[in-house]
Amino acid sequence: MAKLRWQARPQVSAFWVYASPVLALLLTVVLGVLLFLALDKDPVKGLGVFFWEPIRSAYGWGELLVKGTPLLLIALGLGVCFRSNVWNIGAEGQYIMGAVAASGVALLATPTTGGWIVVPVLLAGALAGLLWAGVVAFLRDRFSANEILVSLMLVYVAIQWLGYLVYGPWKDPMGFNFPQTKTFEAATHIPKLFSGSRVTIGVLLALVAVLAVWVFLFRTRAGFAQQVGGLAPAAARYAGFSSRRALWTALLISGGLAGMAGALEVAGPLGQLTPYVPAGYGFAAIIVAFVGRLHPLGMVLSALLMSMFYIGGELAQSRLGLPKSLTGVFQGLLLFCLLACDTLVHYRIHLDKQEKVR
């Protein structure tokens, strides 16, 4: 009688390192079919809404880039953190604080302000995200506080701060009592790449960030130190690499990129600060980072995939009458499928043949 069991691999499977995300996506699609059937919806139409509609037109591709830009920027920073064994789970808060700081600078603009103000807007966002992540680094460094809990709790502090501003001192007096700032002056808007599209130069900044993070991680001594510290802390200490420097470097890079993503969002597609700025990008970017195998190039593809889930969720709400929360369901399915498939990276299925005892 044969028996199946998991057997540890002598070394990591190079094939499954890259094949695992593909298998996870296929399993997500299969589970999506079952989900649509359970909801009494046509699975072909449902999958078409998620995987075909977002790419069937040039406008759809533009929307993919719009939503993929903040996801990619945040995921790049998280990739640096996770490779360094620093678990920044609060990128959403750093994203929000970046949006708030960028809005503060944008609100200073007047109708006569020149386009130069876009640079201070972006710098303010990056600096605010960096400082918010710096709080996490300080508490971890000085008091050995758990960065997972601290960064996560600071997300809710950032949300409350955002709510105070848009319901209070920054509320547009001419906004019919809606909790939002006034629309930013045209000079503060991030320049668009194409006419008739919402795609901005933020896409180019994200691609520059991809290159910069790749060079940092794989072509510099500092990046090598970050990764050694994450994989083998004892070896890093023996080699003279500073764990404190790795902690601060990872969190500041992550916070800065998340803050810039927030600035690009409020000064780009939104054009004002609203309570709806927290769109969950900071949490979704965690999935983007791991599906992309913590590699900058892989995150480009996974960011586009996650953008499809966001757009698909919106289309499913309007065309199929399904709740928008379906986006989160697909994101969760992808993450759980990836975690399950990653077992194949370190283990293989072994068939034990047992002889019958007479």
Domain contains 131? yes
Tens digits of per-residue pLDDT, 202-247? Answer: 999 999 999 999 999 999 999 999 999 888 888 888 888 888 999 9
CA dist 120 to 158, 188, 264, Å?
Answer: 21, 9, 12
> Is 153 within the bounds of a domain?
yes
- For residue 195, being part of any structural domain is answered with yes
Number of domains in the chain: 1
242 to 215, 226, 228, 246, 249: CA distances (angstroms)? 20, 9, 11, 6, 11
Asked if the structure places residue 266 within a domain, the reply is yes
CA–CA separation, 329 and 34 (whole Å): 13
Range of the domain at 164: 72-293
User: To 10 degrees, what angle do helices 147-167 and 118-143 make?
Assistant: 140
Residue 67 lies in a domain: no
Within a domain: residue 145? yes
Position 59 in a domain: no
Predicted local distance difference test score (pLDDT) of residue 319:
87
Residue 148: inside a domain: yes
User: pLDDT by residue (tens digit) across 151-171?
Assistant: 999 999 999 999 999 999 999
Condensed to tens digits (0 to 9), the pLDDT of residues 29-49 reads: 999 999 999 999 999 999 998
49 neighbors 320 (Cβ within 8 angstroms): yes
Count CA atoms within 13 Å of residue 284 on its CB side: 26
The string of DSSP codes covering 295-310 is -HHHHHHHHHHHHHHH
Q: Which pTM was predicted? A: 0.94
Phi then psi dihedrals of residue 353, to 5 deg = -100, 120
